[in-house]
Structure 1
Amino acid sequence: MKLLYKTTRDFLLVTIIIMTIAGVGIYLLLKKEVKDEMNEQLVFQTELAIKQMQKGKPASDPFISITPTTNSLSLKPVYKDTVIFDQVQQENEDYHYLEIVKEINGQHYHIKAMTTYVGWGEYYKTIFYLLLAAIILLAGSGVLINYFSNKKIWKPFCQNLEQLKNYSVSTSTPLQLYDSPITEFKELQAALKDLTERSHREYMALREFTENASHEIQTPLGIIQSKLDRLSQLEVTEEMARYIVQAKSGVERLSKMNKNLLLLAKLDNQIFEDKQTVDLQEVLEQHLYLMEDLFAAKNIEIKTHINKETIIANLYLCDVLISNLFSNVLRYTEQGGHAGILLQSGQLIISNSGNPLDFPSDQLFNRFKKSNNAVQSNGLGLAIVQQICMVSGWNIHYHYLDHTHVFSVHF
């Protein structure tokens, strides 16, 4: 839920609760005040009637009834409500009355004084409707004021949030933020500027270090490879030749790992931003042609169903992705096995027969994760494939079914 909607909702709920409590409080207070006022009025009427009776005059108030009683005990004042049918208006009327026994001129009388009033139900309905109208007006106006006021206050924050979402440390353009008169937003803006500037400097330093380190490592590796090639051309013993072959293999693996790590670093830093229209059918067929002899050497049966498919992507990354997937098929398909390549409806499915994984499938795309039987692998090929998919906005999935590994890439 957006912050603006949440604050508006909370304001509305608090307003309704406060107005409801205020309405109940007003109703109870008004009821008490009206009752006290009516009781005072009834007492006044009763005392006036008693004074008239003491002077030998009958009570002139039509709302007071005075009847002789044999009850010599004084009755404490009793206040009650009752309903009497009005013959004139043809409806029930609410009355509040006082009953008391008083001795007047040596004779006990039962006195009952009444007064009409608007019923408590009417009071309740009047207060309810008034408060309901007040709640609607107050809540409606408050919500509108709160919504537009907060929207104006939070506008620079939302704009800066969008700027931050679109910002990349790899770009040389500094982060552009909108100014705000709010002190907290100013502090946040200053902190974000400092953070992005430091992140950009650290990114550039890391990028430069990665490129320099790769170059510095690749140079001595090339020298070692060259010297080993020279040694292999000399007359050496069989044992020395075996050592040279092992050394060359290790250097080749180290050189390949260095290139793969450099590629992963570039992918992490999103250096490959150039995109173009790529014909996947052509790329797949080209790689199949290049690796045809290698598949034939292991007697791997390749079944293909490649349709015309074009995407907007980086051509180099497409080459690397397909090359790594094909290399994975070649490495892990047993002798005389089978593999399949399907390209249609925006997805590429590459499958190959083989034994199940000897580790959890959710670790398949982790860096340096490889099968115990894959001694020559550096465990970076599928990690690069996943990273290319993430950078390009594609999805890659893996599952194992019927003795077959299946990789599906959705473009």
Structure 2
Amino acid sequence: MKLINKLTYWIMGVVFLVTPFTMIISYRSIKSNINKAEITRLRDVTDKVAEQLKAGQPPHQYILDRPITVKEVATMPPVKMQTKNYSFYNAELKRDECRMDVTSYYKINNKVYAVSTYNYVTQGKQIIMGMVYALAWKIGLITLSVLISGRLVSKYILSSFKQTLKSIEQFTLGNKEKLVLPATSTAEFKELNSFLQNMTDRALKEYNAVKEFSENASHEVQTPLAVMRTKLELLSETEINAEQAQLIGDMQYSIEKLVKINRSLLLLTKLNNSEYQTTEKVKFCRIAKDMVRALEPHIEVKGIELRNHIGSNIPLQIHPVLAEILLNNLLGNAIRYNNPNGYIDIILTQHHLTIKNPGLAPEVDPASLFQRFKKSNQCEDSVGLGLSIVQQICAVNNFEVNYSYKNSEHIIRVDFNCETVPQEQTVVAGETFLTKKPAIA
């Protein structure tokens, strides 16, 4: 829910909560003031009649056409003015009436007179009906005003905040550009922009430092590795015995493995740094067919049967280099961990890529195979980074990669453009897959 909507609902809730109390207070105040005003007016009438009596004037001239009665009483009561407010049904007019009676007592010439008068006043329900009518208009106008003013506040006052959010969404470390935030006159938004500016500047500086270090380290490692490889090749051409040849071969193998590790780690660093972003789609089916065609000689040497079920017209938004690396790692694992004279089953549709091959059950927890330097059956030809790279490629492209082992088959499945499901297992076509959430490490 948007902030302006929350504020609108909060204001309207306060209005509806406070209104009944204010209505009761207003009703009592209005009713009391009406009664006081009428009592004062009637008291003035009785006082006028008493003045005429004191002056020895007949009060009938003043009483004429007024509901006033004057009578002599025995004693003066403790309260010299008595009021009575009551409702009754007027049979002549056929309606309810509310009447205010006022009786004042005066001592004139050693005699006590009771002067009484009355008048009809506004009924309580009439006041309430008027207040309800006014309240309906009040609530309507407040609601309309809050809605309109809320949209104006959202459009003008919160516009800088929305622009800040938009700038943050478009900001990426890979662009190497500082975050540009809009100017604002709101103090809170100024503090927020200042914090975001300092945070992103620091993150960009640290990112560039780490990126430069990883690239320099990878480049510097490649030079001594190339020198070592050349020296060993030259050494192998000299006169050496069998034992020395074996040692040189082991060293060459270790160097080649180190070269693979260096390249894989560099690739993971680039994936983490989002250096393979793309907005264009490629024909993934064509890349898959080319990759299978390139690996066919290696597959035939291993005596592996290839079962190709690659569909056509399958566009995916993925960098072409990453698509090749993804397929190469998955097919390489299928070849590496296959049985002698086994098979590779490749299924590519609009929604997923599935690769199956027979092989020994993994000796480690299948869920840990996506971690770096984790290898199934500790294969010597593997550096333990293949599935980690696959997982990272899936992460940056919003794919979901799953692994299962069932009926002596290794099954890798990549679902395209899937929302990450926060669960440990997924059942697909009767098979249970261990799900690796595509979260960038």
Please confirm whether the aligned pair reaches a TM-score higher than 0.5, indicating the same fold.
yes
Q: Verify the 8 A CA contact 1:356 1:400 in the aligned structure 2.
A: no
Q: Verify the 8 A CA contact 1:4 1:151 in the aligned structure 2.
A: no
Following the alignment from structure 2 to structure 1, what is the Cα–Cα distance between the partners of residues 67 and 343? 110
> In the TM superposition, what is the alpha-carbon distance from 1:128 to its structure 2 partner?
1.9
Following the alignment from structure 1 to structure 2, what is the Cα–Cα distance between the partners of residues 402 and 99? 104
Written as runs of structure 1 = structure 2, the 5 A alignment for 1:186-225 is 186-225=190-229
Q: Which residue of 2 aligns with 1:377?
A: 382
The 1:376–1:77 alpha-carbon spacing in structure 2 relative to 1, beyond 3 Å, is: farther
Q: Verify the 8 A CA contact 2:307 2:344 in the aligned structure 1.
A: yes
Match of 1:178 among 177, 182, 203: 182
Following the alignment from structure 1 to structure 2, what is the Cα–Cα distance between the partners of residues 317 and 96? 93
The 1:361–1:156 alpha-carbon spacing in structure 2 relative to 1, beyond 3 Å, is: farther
Which stretch of structure 1 is more off in the superposition, 308-317 or 356-365? 356-365
Q: Which residue of 1 aligns with 2:136?
A: 132
Q: Which residue of 1 aligns with 2:108?
A: none
The 1:39–1:365 alpha-carbon spacing in structure 2 relative to 1, beyond 3 Å, is: farther
Secondary structure of the corresponding residue to residue 177 of structure 1: coil
Match of 1:351 among 348, 351, 356: 356
Q: Verify the 8 A CA contact 2:355 2:412 in the aligned structure 1.
A: yes
The 1:384–1:99 alpha-carbon spacing in structure 2 relative to 1, beyond 3 Å, is: farther
Secondary structure of the corresponding residue to residue 162 of structure 1: helix
Following the alignment from structure 2 to structure 1, what is the Cα–Cα distance between the partners of residues 153 and 115? 64
Q: Verify the 8 A CA contact 1:31 1:120 in the aligned structure 2.
A: yes
> In the TM superposition, what is the alpha-carbon distance from 1:380 to its structure 2 partner?
1.6
The 1:394–1:150 alpha-carbon spacing in structure 2 relative to 1, beyond 3 Å, is: closer
> In the TM superposition, what is the alpha-carbon distance from 1:213 to its structure 2 partner?
0.6
The 1:396–1:40 alpha-carbon spacing in structure 2 relative to 1, beyond 3 Å, is: same
Q: Verify the 8 A CA contact 1:394 1:409 in the aligned structure 2.
A: no
Q: Which residue of 2 aligns with 1:70?
A: none
Q: Which residue of 1 aligns with 2:233?
A: 229
Match of 1:341 among 318, 342, 346: 346
Letter in 1 for 2:352: Q
Residue 408 in structure 1 maps to residue 414 in structure 2: yes
Letter in 2 for 1:133: W
Match of 2:162 among 152, 158, 165: 158
Q: Which residue of 2 aligns with 1:22?
A: 22
> In the TM superposition, what is the alpha-carbon distance from 1:323 to its structure 2 partner?
0.3
Q: Which residue of 2 aligns with 1:11?
A: 11
> What percentage of residue pairs aligned between the two structures are identical?
28
CA offset digits 1:10-29 (Å, max 9, x no partner): 23333333444322221122
The 1:239–1:127 alpha-carbon spacing in structure 2 relative to 1, beyond 3 Å, is: same
> In the TM superposition, what is the alpha-carbon distance from 1:214 to its structure 2 partner?
0.5
TM-score scaled by length of structure 2? 0.74
Residue 291 in structure 1 maps to residue 295 in structure 2: yes
Secondary structure of the corresponding residue to residue 400 of structure 1: strand
> In the TM superposition, what is the alpha-carbon distance from 1:365 to its structure 2 partner?
2.8
Which stretch of structure 1 is more off in the superposition, 242-251 or 154-163? 242-251
Q: Verify the 8 A CA contact 1:287 1:323 in the aligned structure 2.
A: yes
Secondary structure of the corresponding residue to residue 170 of structure 1: helix
Following the alignment from structure 1 to structure 2, what is the Cα–Cα distance between the partners of residues 311 and 210? 30
Secondary structure of the corresponding residue to residue 352 of structure 1: strand
Aligned length: 408
Q: Verify the 8 A CA contact 2:184 2:190 in the aligned structure 1.
A: yes
Following the alignment from structure 2 to structure 1, what is the Cα–Cα distance between the partners of residues 367 and 84? 81
Q: Which residue of 1 aligns with 2:427?
A: none
The 1:170–1:399 alpha-carbon spacing in structure 2 relative to 1, beyond 3 Å, is: closer
Following the alignment from structure 1 to structure 2, what is the Cα–Cα distance between the partners of residues 57 and 157? 79
Q: Which residue of 2 aligns with 1:398?
A: 402
Q: Which residue of 2 aligns with 1:32?
A: 32
> In the TM superposition, what is the alpha-carbon distance from 1:261 to its structure 2 partner?
0.7
Residue 367 in structure 1 maps to residue 372 in structure 2: yes
Letter in 2 for 1:265: T
Following the alignment from structure 1 to structure 2, what is the Cα–Cα distance between the partners of residues 351 and 326? 10
CA offset digits 1:241-292 (Å, max 9, x no partner): 4433333322222211110111111122222346766333332223223323
Q: Which residue of 2 aligns with 1:261?
A: 265
Following the alignment from structure 2 to structure 1, what is the Cα–Cα distance between the partners of residues 87 and 280? 90
> In the TM superposition, what is the alpha-carbon distance from 1:134 to its structure 2 partner?
1.9
Match of 2:274 among 267, 270, 273: 270
CA offset digits 1:329-387 (Å, max 9, x no partner): 12333334443211222532223334555555554433333335445433221221222
Structure 1, gaps ≥5 residues long: 68-72, 101-109
Secondary structure of the corresponding residue to residue 334 of structure 1: coil
Following the alignment from structure 2 to structure 1, what is the Cα–Cα distance between the partners of residues 84 and 384? 94
Following the alignment from structure 1 to structure 2, what is the Cα–Cα distance between the partners of residues 357 and 98? 104
Q: Which residue of 2 aligns with 1:169?
A: 173
Residue 327 in structure 1 maps to residue 328 in structure 2: no
Which stretch of structure 1 is more off in the superposition, 353-362 or 129-138? 353-362
The 1:15–1:275 alpha-carbon spacing in structure 2 relative to 1, beyond 3 Å, is: closer
TM-score scaled by length of structure 1? 0.79
